[in-house]
Structure 1
Amino acid sequence: MDQEALVPRHLIEMIRHHLATRPVIVLTGPRTIGKSTLLNTCARKHQVPVIDLDSPPVRRQVAQDPTHFAAGPLEPVCIDEFQHVPEILSAIKAELNVDLRPGRYILTGSTRYSALPRLGQALTGRAHIMTVWPLSQGELTGHKETFLDAMFADPGSLVTAIPSKTTRADYERMILTGGFPMVLDLSDAERGHWFRDFVDMVIDRDVLEIRKVRQRHVLPLILRHLAARTASVVNAADIAQHVGLDQRLVGDYITLLESVFLAHRLDSYGRTLSSKVGRSPKIHLVDSGLAAHLLGISQRKLNRRDPATLTEFGKVVETFVVNELIKQAGWAESVVEFGHFRTRDQREVDLVIESGEGEVIGVEVKAKSSVEEADFRGLRLLRDRLGGAFAGGVLINLGQQSFRHDERLFVMPADRLWTPLPTSW
């Protein structure tokens, strides 16, 4: 598949917009999702070269004289995989101390900016950080999703009598494939080989560059344990017992895996800082296809309807929906924060989205097509506790119907996240 054809136009437009006001744009995200393709597209538009630090010879040259490369005569200076030579950021900072004009640099990196050593965070406060995720379902079909904005504006506008045309088999295919561009045209077997090589590459080239890990062999094992707990509260002590390591060391390794975008955490939702930090976060793998691979979930297993496989698939479905909504936040009009809601008596909401104005949306995910009253226990509690601040709650499932279930509570099929509004169906 032509990788350039998959470059989302709205991401290019967002970069153009931020370049007009900020001196540095930093694109971070997992490896192989298209950051380099996106950077090369922007470089061609500006008729400037790309400094590729993934190339060992280029890396050595830049490491020997970062000031020379930071002061490029053509702007924006485009640098790919900057984390390989963090000294380049200090050289860029020195340049900005003299000239803080907008539009001077576009950088990409496969390590979370906040995870870099102090030297690598030299541009804090001067750079706009954009996270680039695996492709969303809307990006795969060529349009920008607006579900988040519609939910805050009027959740009822997303309800239609027209049934969804997406089948259970369609959802299974989407979720098992995920959004990494290079797996989209692969068979199940080829996809499995690709994900295995991808995990090895990220650990060997990115994790070990951040930290010299003696037990390199244990990192894939911890990642598999995280996959088994995707969409669940993460417990480092439990994983430590399974792998035979100290709990603090396992917690450190989990943070490393988050730093290279293999997983991300979803903090507990609360109206106060103490309520947020006082409860455990959930963990989600960065991509549903990666999660399914690590769990050994295949189309053949799903076709057998094995109860254990279906239970694991249900967690991957939740990760799929959560990730789709987090991707949308990158271009939504509303500035939002994400969390999960869970009480001591196990009443929970899978995803809580709070706008900058304090309005809240609750999202519950079910890997089934039917609806039961018990499915709304967490959403009802959240609605009743928040009162007028509760903009709406939605139960997302794999069915085909959308409808209003109760006051400010709705049921919608998962494809409503990326399907254009009903008037254009």
Structure 2
Amino acid sequence: MSDTEDYLPRHLIPELEDAIASARVVNLIGPRQVGKTTLVRDLFGNGRFITLDDAAVLAAIEADPEGQLTSLMENLHHAPLIIDEAQRSKKLALAIKRVVDTDRRKGQFVLTGSSNVFATTDVADSLAGRMRTLKLWPLTAAEVKRAPVSRLMDWAMQKNPRLGQVADPEPVSRSDYIDLILEGGFPETRTLPLRSRQRQYRDYIDAVVERDVADITPVRKPDALRILIDQMAVRSAQEINASELAKLTKLTKLQRVTVEQYLDILIRLSMLTKLGAWTSGEGKRKIKNPKYHFADSGIACALRGFTEDTFTIDNNPQALGGLLESFVLNEIQRAVPMQDADYRLYHWRSADQREIDILVDGGSHLVCVEVKASASVSGDDFKHLKWFSKDGPGRSRTCTGIVFYLGQEKLTFGDRNFALPVSALWSDIDA
């Protein structure tokens, strides 16, 4: 890894700085090895750092949590106590609550972990207004390329979005996009040679199943969970019905409720993203199954054994479609917390098979996104977007349609419909 690779800018930094200034507890969660520890130690270097990966430290916290916290915070003054892998302690959350109940100072604790230490306790509700939870995902392409955070959703939500406000996107070839997808976003892994990288990604999944899952809940059949992860890599960007998934895979001995529990674990470990089905509240029947996306394309490719040759015309070029859709969703999802307004992400499909890959709900405005793994685009690619906004459930809202594709030109197709290169996701916006 090069020296410059060590310190790729993370777009979450301003959010973290704001959180430490406004909340007593900052809870930074995200997958293992995405750089949480490095980030907080660099940002809050004047604080005190402990890790619960250290068995002795964990034992001490479990034996006397309040006493240990009080001791560790002595002489810290205005610096935070940074607790790494906080989810490993079952008693930590309540002890932190008691400390911040008696001390109203901001920025007392910075917690990091692969899952939310407060998710399975009753403490979260009582910490409302005192704690902020942020998520650090794997690197985005924008971060890898040292570009600003994408403001594309704010642009699309405008009263009158214009293509001239989007800086000319970086020229990126199909093979360059494939390289980005294969590399993934884990800082220390993405720059390795392909074989070493994919081996490390597979080892990473094994380590998550063996270590991190137990921090959330005991799993009776870890082998079945590992099989499920492989199956979800194959099904990235697909709608999933848990009962059908159990029938279609080797998980036939698992009940539907167990499959749903395992999917929930993978979401809480930030391995999967779940997009619910958007509904307008109208009576017409819509498909209600959620769509799942693998949170890192590099891991999904490693689990499937994909290489550059996988996507050639005489091999399996269709495999790129779902991976590219997940890649685009991941770029949008990581940028959403830094937009000017709060947006929610969904997918949509009607009973007669009209569908929208990603639907960004901004209240009175909707952004409808289609992803096309082709270097060309035509008016036919907008048929579902235009029907949705004119005659479908989006007709009472202001809708902007975007087709992301692998070409080089940014184009308008009228009525707030645009075709944009995928690389527009890391273009400057003058809005």
TM-score (norm 2): 0.90
Q: Distance in 1 between matches of 2:415 and 2:13?
A: 39
Task: Pick the aligned partner of 2:161 from 148, 155, 161.
Answer: 155
2:294 pairs with 1:295 = no
Deviates more, 1:284-293 or 1:266-275: 266-275
Partner of 2:374: 368
Q: Distance in 2 between matches of 1:401 and 1:149?
A: 21
Give runs of aligned pairs for residues 8-87 of structure 1, distance below 5 A. Answer: 8=10, 10-44=11-45, 47-71=46-70, 72-73=73-74, 74=76, 75-87=79-91
SS in 2 for 1:92: helix
Distance 1:350 1:396, change over 3 A: same
Task: Pick the aligned partner of 1:132 from 123, 126, 136.
Answer: 136
Task: Pick the aligned partner of 2:354 from 342, 347, 370.
Answer: 347
Give runs of aligned pairs for residues 306-317 of structure 1, distance below 5 A. Answer: 306=315, 309-317=316-324
Does the Cα contact within 8 Å between 2:169 and 2:427 map onto a contact in 1? no
Task: Pick the aligned partner of 2:389 from 383, 387, 390.
Answer: 383
Does the Cα contact within 8 Å between 1:228 and 1:312 map onto a contact in 2? no
Equivalent position amino acid for 1:319 in 2: S
> How many equivalent pairs are there?
417
CA RMSD of aligned residues (A): 2.5
Equivalent position amino acid for 1:151 in 2: A
Equivalent position amino acid for 2:280 in 1: R
Task: Pick the aligned partner of 1:94 from 74, 98, 108.
Answer: 98
Equivalent position amino acid for 2:21 in 1: A
Alpha-carbon shift at residue 100 of structure 1 (Å): 2.1
Q: Distance in 2 between matches of 1:94 and 1:363?
A: 45
Partner of 1:283: 292
Q: Distance in 2 between matches of 1:261 and 1:43?
A: 24
Distance 1:20 1:262, change over 3 A: same
Distance 1:29 1:168, change over 3 A: same
Q: Distance in 2 between matches of 1:60 and 1:277?
A: 51
Equivalent position amino acid for 2:133 in 1: I
Deviation readout 1:310-334 (Å, 9 max, x if unpaired): 2222101000000100000121112
Does the Cα contact within 8 Å between 1:111 and 1:259 map onto a contact in 2? yes
Alpha-carbon shift at residue 339 of structure 1 (Å): 0.4
SS in 2 for 1:330: helix
Distance 1:412 1:257, change over 3 A: same
Does the Cα contact within 8 Å between 1:352 and 1:360 map onto a contact in 2? yes
Deviation readout 1:276-312 (Å, 9 max, x if unpaired): 9971110011111112222222112223542xx3222
Does the Cα contact within 8 Å between 1:43 and 1:50 map onto a contact in 2? no
Distance 1:164 1:119, change over 3 A: closer
Does the Cα contact within 8 Å between 2:278 and 2:346 map onto a contact in 1? yes
Distance 1:90 1:163, change over 3 A: closer
Indicate the structure with greater helix content: 1
Q: What residue ranges of structure 1 are gaps of 5+ in the alignment?
A: none
Partner of 2:206: 200
Distance 1:216 1:274, change over 3 A: farther
Task: Pick the aligned partner of 1:412 from 392, 414, 420.
Answer: 420
Equivalent position amino acid for 1:239 in 2: L
Q: What residue ranges of structure 2 are gaps of 5+ in the alignment?
A: none
Alpha-carbon shift at residue 82 of structure 1 (Å): 0.7
Q: Distance in 2 between matches of 1:158 and 1:393?
A: 16
Partner of 2:8: 6
Alpha-carbon shift at residue 160 of structure 1 (Å): 6.9
Q: Distance in 2 between matches of 1:129 and 1:58?
A: 24
Equivalent position amino acid for 2:8 in 1: L
2:280 pairs with 1:271 = yes
Q: Distance in 2 between matches of 1:66 and 1:7?
A: 35
Does the Cα contact within 8 Å between 1:59 and 1:84 map onto a contact in 2? yes
Partner of 2:179: 173
Deviates more, 1:120-129 or 1:236-245: 120-129
Does the Cα contact within 8 Å between 1:349 and 1:364 map onto a contact in 2? yes
Partner of 2:151: 146
Does the Cα contact within 8 Å between 1:135 and 1:181 map onto a contact in 2? yes
SS in 1 for 2:191: coil
Partner of 1:216: 222
Deviates more, 1:136-145 or 1:82-91: 136-145
Does the Cα contact within 8 Å between 1:160 and 1:403 map onto a contact in 2? no
Q: Distance in 1 between matches of 2:330 and 2:51?
A: 29
Q: Distance in 1 between matches of 2:295 and 2:242?
A: 18
Distance 1:21 1:209, change over 3 A: closer
Partner of 2:402: 394
Distance 1:160 1:199, change over 3 A: closer
SS in 1 for 2:188: helix
Alpha-carbon shift at residue 421 of structure 1 (Å): 4.3
Equivalent position amino acid for 1:199 in 2: I
Does the Cα contact within 8 Å between 1:114 and 1:121 map onto a contact in 2? no
Q: Distance in 2 between matches of 1:82 and 1:12?
A: 20
Q: Distance in 2 between matches of 1:345 and 1:166?
A: 35
Q: Distance in 2 between matches of 1:131 and 1:163?
A: 27
Q: Distance in 2 between matches of 1:270 and 1:247?
A: 24
Q: Distance in 1 between matches of 2:283 and 2:91?
A: 37
Deviation readout 1:69-128 (Å, 9 max, x if unpaired): 333121311111110013111111001111222221111110145643446876455311
Deviation readout 1:218-255 (Å, 9 max, x if unpaired): 11110111112111111211221222222221111111
Q: Distance in 2 between matches of 1:378 and 1:414?
A: 20
Does the Cα contact within 8 Å between 1:267 and 1:281 map onto a contact in 2? yes
Q: Distance in 2 between matches of 1:252 and 1:214?
A: 12
